[in-house]
A and B are shown apart, each in its own frame.
Chain A
Amino acid sequence: MAAPRSFLWTRRIFLTLLTAFVVLPVYVMISSSLKPLEDVSGKFEWIPSGLTLRPYVDIWETVPLADYFVNSIVVAGAATVFSVIVAIFAAYAVSRYSFRGKRAFTVTVLSTQMFPGILFLLPLFLIYVNIGNATGIALFGSREGLILTYLTFSLPFSIWMLTGYFDSIPRELDEAAKVDGCGPIKALFRVIIPAATPGIVAVAIYAFMTAWGEVLFASVMTNDTTRTLAVGLQGYATQNDVYWNQVMAASLVVSVPVVVGFLLLQRYLVAGLTAGAVK
């Protein structure tokens, strides 16, 4: 398929502009992270006049960055895994079965996506505290509580999205598996999940990023041992000063693993393409 000139040029111009838009802040982060504090808080320079690696050393001293990073990875990772599993089951039910209350379920779940966080922040906090008092399971202030909270944040969208993906997988495929003697759950794992890989990966990325970046709940529901990066990075803005260079350096350092993770997952997105072509 030879694309016409008009297409190629539009593509070239569009992608160039978009790249510039995306890269600009990243460039600012990188260059600022290499400047001494006096320079960062002065006029912006495209080419830094004084280069230093000091901020990359200082970030570990100013806030316990490594701890926050581990917390974030654990919280976002666990929230993603559970959220995706729960969503796959729910989406499978909605996509492949027709049952009483299906519509009520989808409407209810979808509507939770609309709740302003402010509205249920305090009540949720109270519920966690009371669960803690009643059962001894510490949900408030713990990673578990945060995981539980975040996994539901991404759940409605994940269920909805996956239902759409599952719908697009021909039913003949899993029916055939059932004829071959697979139970419904086996058919889900053997047929549906492999065929829906790109959708599942996309949903997982969404779930991860939702948990990775959340600020409001994290600021109230964590303490210094469970604080996540999203709030922890604010530690570089202290009462006296904002360590701009360290904020940038720390942001870059913690983002590298995530970007690498994305890179790896991309291959599954691509692999999904081939799986999707089976039909």
Chain B
Amino acid sequence: MRRVRAAAVGAVTLSLVLSAAACGGGSNGGGSNEQPKTLTYWASNQGASIEVDKKVLQPELDKFEKETGIKVKLEVVPWGDLLNRILTATTSGQGPDVLNIGNTWSASLQSTGALLPWDAKNFEAIGGKDRFIDSALGSTGVQAQDPAAVPLYSMTYALYYNKKMFKDAGITKPPTTWDELIATGKKLTKGDKAAIGVEGSNLSNNIHQVFVLGKQHGADFFSPDGKADFTSDGAVAAVKQYVDLMAAHKIVAPGNAEYAQNQSLSDFAKNKTAMVLWQTASATFKAQGMNEDEWGVAPAPVPSGKPGTGKQTNSMVAGINMAVFKNTKNMDGALKFVKFMTSDEEQVVLNKAYGSIPPVKTAQQDPTFSGPALTVLRETLSTSATALPQVPEESQFETVVGTAVKELFADAAAGRPVTTESVRAKLEKAQQQMPKK
């Protein structure tokens, strides 16, 4: 035993020496221009696959290199890895110069202090803050602070409906209110056909949906001073309303409770599900063998039937932001690159390729974005979309509340009752899991 102890003491000493040496981590705050000729760029996976993304992005990066002489090393990071990679990059200081982040992570990542704040001067370097639309800027960090990122691609939710199934059920127009949606839904739900699809096990999707419903009930999931507030009457009602599509109204097939990989879209393409609330689903429908004239897009339902702000919100602001790591060794080049990627020309090319909406006002004017589907998304973005809470705890919120909704769907699918009390209990538990302040 004595030898074991001796070995342990030795190891501890060594580790302390090493960790003292190692803790330099991501310090030395500011960036520099030590390596003005290269940039590393982490792009998120936007297209049908990583290879497709490379094919979309590489020509643009070549163009950038021609203009500026800066070589951009591209890595497309799969969604499942992106946040972990960013976190480890943050911890170690070994990261890319420029990267894409899910815009809902903005405030959380901002709080780590690893991202370059976009103050007036930096915004000036890329042509000014006014070039971006307000709703997209609303999802770039905590309100009172300089944004941690700039919007790159924007998306919103809309109601996609299957024209054949609507026609077969004798329905002529898509529902605009929730009451209408439920009434239409009852007509559409027959046998193995269901009215609307949900992704019950997809935490982020759950959050996006209940957040919007929360807005419609006048509830936010965070108090104005940034504290978690999951159990307000409005929040409980919102979650219950969403789960009730399956639990009470039975217009969602029970199997959807386990969906997390866009299975509801393939059900839609197979004429098994008549509606989905989705962001830019067109590429997936096409991959599933659906023609463009087989589906329609309408604004997501709101209580009054007319989308707007406040209680008539019908989408969260979805999308991708572009951020710069503070300790980049090519600060000027990074800014130039962001400027390039948010330029009118590139915005049109890239958003067209990915089926998203440019968050840059002037680029939105391009005729590419005036087709029927994109018009709905574009109008939603500018008139009736609200950003998710811009608080540092946003990512925890997605995890704990998203899980609560997932568990409620599992209850509903198993035939267990979903009541106001059971919803409140789940949300209470979620709230207690949030970090104490």
Nearest-neighbor residue (CB-CB) of A236 within chain B: B49
- What residues on B are CB-neighbors of A239 within 8 Å? 45-46, 79
B22 within 8 A of partner (CB): yes
Are B289 and A38 closer than 8 Å at their CB atoms? yes
Query: Beyond A41-B288, A235-B78, A238-B45, is A100–B3 a contact (Cβ under 8 Å)?
Result: yes
A140 within 8 A of partner (CB): yes
Are B92 and A140 closer than 8 Å at their CB atoms? yes
5 tightest A-B contacts by CB?
A: A41-B266, A104-B3, A62-B49, A129-B92, A104-B7
A273 within 8 A of partner (CB): no
- What residues on A are CB-neighbors of B288 within 8 Å? 37-38, 41, 241
Q: How far is the CA of A170 from the CA of B257 in the complex (A)?
A: 61
- What residues on A are CB-neighbors of B47 within 8 Å? 238
Given contacts A104-B4, A235-B78, A240-B265, 5 further A-B pairs with CB under 8 A are A123-B22, A224-B76, A241-B284, A241-B287, A242-B262
The stretch of B83-91, B178-186, B242-250 that contacts the partner chain = B83-91
Among B84-128, those with CB < 8 Å from A are: 84-85, 88, 91-94
Query: B19 to nearest A CB, angstroms?
Result: 8
Residue among B51, B261, B262 making CB contact with A62, cutoff 8 Å? B51
Q: How many residues of B contact A (CB 8 A)?
A: 45
Contact with B along A87-118 (1 / 0, CB 8 A): 00000000000001101110110000000000
- What residues on B are CB-neighbors of A8 within 8 Å? none
Query: Beyond A220-B85, A220-B88, A237-B261, is A108–B24 a contact (Cβ under 8 Å)?
Result: no
Query: B96 to nearest A CB, angstroms?
Result: 9
Are B92 and A126 closer than 8 Å at their CB atoms? yes
Are B88 and A122 closer than 8 Å at their CB atoms? yes
A42 within 8 A of partner (CB): yes
Q: How far is the CA of A127 from the CA of B21 in the complex (A)?
A: 9
Chain B contact residues: helix, strand, loop or mixed = helix
Are A41 and B93 closer than 8 Å at their CB atoms? no
Are B91 and A125 closer than 8 Å at their CB atoms? yes
Are A242 and B80 closer than 8 Å at their CB atoms? no
Query: B85 to nearest A CB, angstroms?
Result: 7
- What residues on A are CB-neighbors of B24 within 8 Å? 130, 133
Nearest-neighbor residue (CB-CB) of A223 within chain B: B75
Among B23-53, those with CB < 8 Å from A are: 23-25, 45-51
Q: How many residues of A contact B (CB 8 A)?
A: 42
Among A169-187, those with CB < 8 Å from B are: none
Are A125 and B46 closer than 8 Å at their CB atoms? no
Contact with B along A225-251 (1 / 0, CB 8 A): 000000100111111111100000000
Chain A contact residues: helix, strand, loop or mixed = helix
- What residues on A are CB-neighbors of B76 within 8 Å? 224
Are B88 and A107 closer than 8 Å at their CB atoms? no
Q: How far is the CA of A100 from the CA of B6 in the complex (A)?
A: 12
Are B51 and A64 closer than 8 Å at their CB atoms? yes
Q: How far is the CA of A133 from the CA of B51 in the complex (A)?
A: 32
Nearest-neighbor residue (CB-CB) of A58 within chain B: B49
Q: How far is the CA of A204 from the CA of B47 in the complex (A)?
A: 40
- What residues on A are CB-neighbors of B85 within 8 Å? 219-220
A269 within 8 A of partner (CB): no
Residue among A61, A129, A223, A241 making CB contact with B262, cutoff 8 Å? A241
- What residues on B are CB-neighbors of A252 within 8 Å? none
Query: A127 to nearest B CB, angstroms?
Result: 6
- What residues on A are CB-neighbors of B92 within 8 Å? 125-126, 129, 140
B283 within 8 A of partner (CB): yes
Are B6 and A104 closer than 8 Å at their CB atoms? yes
Query: A68 to nearest B CB, angstroms?
Result: 11
Query: Beyond A63-B51, A220-B88, A235-B78, is A240–B94 a contact (Cβ under 8 Å)?
Result: no
Among B278-333, those with CB < 8 Å from A are: 283-284, 287-289
- What residues on A are CB-neighbors of B45 within 8 Å? 238-239
Q: How far is the CA of A63 from the CA of B55 in the complex (A)?
A: 12
Query: B45 to nearest A CB, angstroms?
Result: 6
Residue among B4, B23, B88 making CB contact with A125, cutoff 8 Å? B88
Query: A106 to nearest B CB, angstroms?
Result: 10
Residue among A42, A132, A224, A238 making CB contact with B75, cutoff 8 Å? A224
Residue among B25, B51, B78, B289 making CB contact with A126, cutoff 8 Å? B25
Contact with A along B238-269 (1 / 0, CB 8 A): 00000000000000000000000111011001
Among B63-84, those with CB < 8 Å from A are: 75-81, 84
Query: B253 to nearest A CB, angstroms?
Result: 13
B129 within 8 A of partner (CB): no
- What residues on B are CB-neighbors of A134 within 8 Å? 21
B18 within 8 A of partner (CB): yes
Are B3 and A122 closer than 8 Å at their CB atoms? no
Residue among A220, A231, A240 making CB contact with B284, cutoff 8 Å? A240
Are A61 and B261 closer than 8 Å at their CB atoms? no
- What residues on A are CB-neighbors of B79 within 8 Å? 238-239
- What residues on A are CB-neighbors of B261 within 8 Å? 237, 241-242
- What residues on B are CB-neighbors of A37 within 8 Å? 287-289
- What residues on B are CB-neighbors of A42 within 8 Å? 266, 270
Are A108 and B78 closer than 8 Å at their CB atoms? no
Query: A38 to nearest B CB, angstroms?
Result: 5
Are B7 and A101 closer than 8 Å at their CB atoms? yes
Nearest-neighbor residue (CB-CB) of A41 within chain B: B266
